[in-house]
Amino acid sequence: MYVLCGFVPHARRMFDEMPDRSSFFYNTVMRMYIQNGVPYEALCVFVEMLSSRQCWPDNFTYPIVIKACADLSLLSIGVVVHGKTLKAGLDLDTFVQNSLLSMYMNCGEKEEARRVFDTMWERSVVSWNTLINGYLRNGCAKEAMMVFSWMMEEGMEPDCATMVSVLPACGYLKDLVSGRRVHALVEDKGLGKKIVARNALVDMYAKCGSMDEARLVVDKMGERDVITWTTMINGYILNGDARSALALCQLMHFDGVKPNSVSIASLLSACGSLCSFEYGRCFHGWAIRQKLESDVMVETALIDMYAKCKKIYLSFRVFAKTTKKRTVPWNAILSGCIHNGLAREGIEFFKQMLMDTVQPNDATLNSLLPAYSILADLQQATNIHSYLVRSGFLSSIEVATGLIDIYSKCGSLESAYKVFSGVPEKGKDIVLWSVIIASYGVHGHGEIAISLFNQMIQSGVKPNEVTFTSVLHACSHAGLVDNGLNLFKFMLENHKMSPCPDHYTCLVDLLGRAGRLDEAYDLIRTMPFKPNHAVWGALLGACVIHENVELGEVAAKWLFELEPENTGNYILMAKIYAAVGRWKDAKNVRHMMNEIGLRKKVAHSLVEVRNV
């Protein structure tokens, strides 16, 4: 009775007073501890059981003990218990084997879990579900799908738990075709009666980018809960449609569903994406009325939303009310400072975070490092580098990439390359390669940038759009025309990649700087899409260098239409006219600026001496 009512101390006192204890009573107490979230105490009772020698563990005992090991991630003890099950002759007990399978997956030991599964004499649907779910939780969605296919081939009848395990795998892989097959199976087997299965379908379609199909599932649901609506809201945000996400708020209200902290955090995220301050402020008030403003998810979302709405002072106000003991709000305020160009303030917040003994994580450093790139202060870059080495964060590929960018902005390519060289070859991803290539390209070392690009290709890393933009930009800065054209050809023929506007901008700039203006213009005319302001701007800049009035007028005409308020375009065109002695035309261009009401921004320069 005490166990069923959750009176743990009373139940334990009665157990301790019992003169004779059977395995049933030991199992009952251990199960009680597991259900109340104290698995360590369950293991202590198991040790008492073995020491008492009054009774021995049975096929009900071991699953409880194995569950305790799984909850505590005590792999070493779990292995010992596994050995005891073999010694007790329970290696054919499906219940015990399923518990072992779950324990190994929970501890990240996929190979051991698979070994247990392969040696099982009889596999129940729970066995298959545990393996599928275990692979998914360990980031092996493809393996989860393969096991599901194997399960179907073996003729094992799936249940609702199977669908709830396999649908997230489809979403993770963005495998819409397989997701639709599983959906058909759900309908055919009548497994969609439970709301958890329907919610899993909505989540799968959302992650696969098919919001129309997700909406159809929702519309056909007889019952919708807060998870249903929150999944839809997150789905729209994930697929770049924040307005539709906000529109669901009213439907959710009409459906009689009360939002929780996750719902409000998601809606605030949508407000941040749209820079919708008014809606964000309304949701803040809603959170206060629902007494959810102190929830860490809501606090973090509020800080982020206000920062994106350029109301950073309100982010500071929300942050000041937090407990400041959790890492996530600190990460949000750091990111908010950088988003608003407050690099120094961001660094000061980080220092305060360390003084308050709040443990930073990789996300903290990813939010912070751009501040050092903005300041481009080599001394400060060296300081943060030292901290990253001491704290062990430099082993993260994202952090190493950020540090390389910092050194590049500071002009210290030698330090940037040292950090790059310190990353193991197998750990160098496309982002890291792109950053180091761009670093050398920006500083005019085109040949080194091309050499690094070739090294990347030889290492087996496939370049993406950004990588090609970086290396083409390097060729442009260094005047390596033939190299740039060959790389563009290599991109089209070897990688079958469709050029983006940035690629054409680099090529136009490359040809223009070399004086090959007619070729640059011909390239623009053959573009498969309408040239943007950057492409025409590159041509106009080249016309200024080579005093080409005819093509300069063509480029300027398009730029005046695409960027009517950009004073730089008018000034460049006037400069071309002035260079060839057409003073009247130069005067007319400046007169156009005055008529529109444009004024050139006053330039300024800054020299920093000893942080002053």
Pick the more confident residue, 219 or 611. Answer: 219
pLDDT-derived band of residue 607, with 50, 70 and 90 as boundaries?
low
pLDDT band at 606 (very low <50, low <70, confident <90, very high): low
For residue 539, which amino acid is it? Answer: L
Q: Which amino acid is at 486?
A: N
d(CA 335, CA 357): 19
349: tokens are 């917040």
Domain finish residue from 298, 323, 348: 323
Name which residue leads in pLDDT, 37 or 506. Answer: 506
CB-based contact 31:41 (threshold 8 Å): no
Using alpha carbons, select from 525, 471, 534 the residue that is nearest to residue 497. 471
Q: What is the CATH number of the domain that holds 589?
A: 1.25.40
Domain count, the chain: 3
| pLDDT confidence tier of residue 597, bands split at 50, 70 and 90 | low
Domain presence at residue 51: no
Is residue 307 located within the same domain as residue 279?
A: yes
CB contact at 8 A, 502 and 534 = yes
Q: Which domain holds residue 316?
A: 224-323
**Which residue from 361, 347, 352 is spatially nearest to 322, judged by alpha carbons?**
352
Say what the pTM is. 0.80
The per-residue pLDDT for range 447-456, each reduced to its tens digit, is 999 999 999 9
Confidence of residue 2 (pLDDT cuts 50, 70, 90): very low
Q: Which of 100-114, 144-158, 287-301, 598-612 has the lowest mean pLDDT?
A: 598-612
pLDDT at residue 411 in the model: 92
- Does a structural domain hold residue 40? no
Question: What's the average model confidence in pLDDT over 161-183?
Answer: 95
Size (the chain), residues: 612
Residue 438 to residue 471: CA distance in whole angstroms = 7
Shared-domain flag, residues 318 and 338: no
Write down which residue in 423, 440, 462 finishes a domain. 423
Place of tokens 């050499």: 451
Which residues neighbour 596 within 8 Å (Cβ) at sequence distance 6 or greater?
A: 564, 565
600, amino acid identity: K
End-to-end CA distance of the chain: 73
- In terms of domains, do 305 and 354 share one? no
**Tokens 């009680």, residue?**
32
* Average pLDDT value for residue range 431-453: 94
SS3 state at 410 = coil
Largest CA distance in the chain: 111
C-beta neighbour count of 466 within 10 angstroms: 17
Q: Residue 56: what pLDDT? A: 83
Is residue 580 in some structural domain?
A: yes
**Mean pLDDT for all residues in the chain:** 90
% of residues, the chain, pLDDT over 70: 94
Tell me, yes or no, whether 114 lies in a domain: no
- For the chain, the C-alpha Rg in angstroms (whole number) is 31
At residue 497, the pLDDT reads: 87
Arithmetic mean of pLDDT, 80-86:
88
Give the closest residue to 453 by CA, choosing from 411, 418, 493, 484.
Answer: 484
Residues 585 and 529 in one domain: yes
For residues 57-68, give the mean pLDDT. Answer: 88
Q: How far apart are CA 461 and CA 454, in angstroms?
A: 10
- Asked which of 387, 406, 423 is the last residue of a domain, the reply is 423
